[in-house]
Amino acid sequence: MRTAVLHIEGAKSEAIEVARNRLIVPVFLFIFGFSLLVARLVSIAIFEDISDQIIQVHSAKVEIVRERVDILDRNGTVMATNLPAPSLAVRPRLIADPEETADGIMAVLPNLNRDQVLNKLKSSRHFLYIRRNLSPKQVWKINALGFPGLVLEQAEKRVYPQGKLASHVLGYVDVDNKPQAGVEKFFDDHLSNPMRSDDPLHLSLDLRVQHIVRQELKFAMDRFSAKGAAGIVMDVETGEILAMTSLPDFDGNGSIDPSTPEMKNRNTLEPYEMGSGFKTFTLAMALDSGAIKVTDEFDATRPLKVGRRTIHDDHAKKRHLSVPEVYTYSSNIGASLIIRQVGVDYQKAYLERFGMFDKPVIELTGRSRPILPRRWGEIQSMTVSYGHGIAVTPLHLVTGIAAVVNGGRLIPATLIRKDKDQDNISYGLPEYSNVEDYPQVISAETSRKMRHLMRLAVEYGSGSNARVEGYRVGGKTGTAEKVINGSYSRENKITSFVGVFPMDNPKYVIFAMLDEPQGIEETFYRATGGWTAAPVVGQIISRIGPMLGVEPNADVETKYQNLILVNAKSN
């Protein structure tokens, strides 16, 4: 018995010793590894500066690649951007139970047509879209359904945070983010380039000015029950467009029908007879060519008969008129007599230099050519002199007026911000490094004279409703009968006013136009440009002048006042 007990105790002792030896190895390895970790931490703490590494981690730039580049206004406000918008699609061949799957989809997206959804689920095609632009909540619910064959495809949606504001400039894209109009289409190579995701397109538009122009035009459009309206603000020294509005407008965020009237940009795609605004070009070319002098007079005592046509003055003075009076009182007779001295050939040559024979120059695809007289004889030359028989877009008029007042240089309109601190891309449009390189369409001296005449038209003529306290505003009204069914209609008119300020050192051209405005009691039921469009420009100037840093200063001499009899001012 004794021997057996000792044997058992010896065996147990040996087993314990083996187990102890086996534990020593992992314990040693653990202690060794832990020691290495401690040593490394001590080394980092003592010998290495990790601040740079931490800074790099926190300041690392995360590059987001979007399908389309952002569009910003000149001040950096977002006008167009992309947001995540997953789409729900289906692989019909993987659908086990179309009826059950359709019920699940309808529970999440009740606005869909169940029959159409079911047809797609039963289709023999490989892949079909069911709904685009899902919200995060809808994505979560679709995922929760757990039906095989349903595909949530990652995509982006183009959004326009400003809604209708500047919609005709921006244009829009279709459901596949393909551009259909506006700068979206013109600059597609830039906007669709993923390498430019961090290089937004800066437009020349100032959304503050854009908002004011749209607001004032909408107010006037409603007040005079007009069918539509258009407005532009342009920098005369750079050609930059600060605002371009066409009413009615559209919202690029919603469903769009390209055939509807509100899709048309009246500023570039719709030629109009501009009426007396064209007298600005008539007098500018007459003075510049030397055909007349400012002190000349013309007989407007009675209507002017030319062949079978008789030319009348809307506000007849029935006397001889000086050149400043012809412009200030908007005499059709006087303009006709002046252009007779200029001649048809000179008139056509000057208008061509002003860009009136070609499409307007701007970074938009929708642009229309002017409508010119089929036959351009003496009578056509006379009617063109006061803006009838020739139709141009508002942008033609604004660009031409800018050249008249800026010293005579024809600077193309642009929707791209001109910034000396950034590289500008011409995109195929005329681009010069110096103002002196742009075409000189009239002399600087003629430009100076025209500035005084435009100032007189506001001070004493039909543009008096565009006056703004403290600002030197100049401009010209325009009223033209629309052509309805092949003949002119006295009831349906296009009224406009093109203004410039400040006249002693022109900075901006402001244009406003109303389509078929109706007279109201406050205007004595008159609906001419002086009563309907001129006040719009005055209101715009009063609001944007301080915003754009134009200091009020009314104490500036206006010449040629001595050549005007001011006893019969009219609108």
Annotated active-site positions, please?
276
Alpha carbon distance 150, 167 (integer Å): 36
Q: Which long-range contacts (CB under 8 A, 24 or more apart) does 310-314 make?
A: 311/336, 311/382, 311/383, 314/479, 314/528
| Residue that is written with structure tokens 């729900």 in the block | 88
What is the CB neighbour count within 10 angstroms for residue 211?
Answer: 16
Asked if residue 316 lies in contact with residue 445, where contact means CB atoms within 8 angstroms, the answer is no
**Strand-strand pairing, 87-90 and 150-153:** antiparallel
Evaluated on CA atoms 307, 309, 310, 314, the torsion sign reads negative
Alpha carbon distance 81, 161 (integer Å): 8
**What are the residues whose beta carbons fall under 8 Å from the beta carbon of 341, sequence distance 6 or more?**
286, 291, 292
Asked if residue 281 lies in contact with residue 350, where contact means CB atoms within 8 angstroms, the answer is yes
What is the CB neighbour count within 10 angstroms for residue 482?
Answer: 15
Structure tokens at 112: 């869909």
The burial of 83, by beta-carbon neighbours within 10 Å (0-12 exposed, 13-18 middle, 19 or more buried), is given as exposed
**What are the residues whose beta carbons fall under 8 Å from the beta carbon of 329, sequence distance 6 or more?**
313, 315, 317, 321, 461, 462, 570
Asked if residue 413 lies in contact with residue 239, where contact means CB atoms within 8 angstroms, the answer is yes
Alpha carbon distance 46, 34 (integer Å): 18
CA distances from 421 to 63, 417, 418 (A): 24, 11, 9
Asked if residue 299 lies in contact with residue 320, where contact means CB atoms within 8 angstroms, the answer is yes
- Smallest CA-to-CA distance from 211 within 549, 551, 547 is with 547
The kind and range of the H/E element at 234 are strand 228-235
Alpha carbon distance 339, 563 (integer Å): 20
Residue type, 508: Y
Phi/psi of residue 521, each to 5°? -60, -40
- Length of the chain, in residues: 571
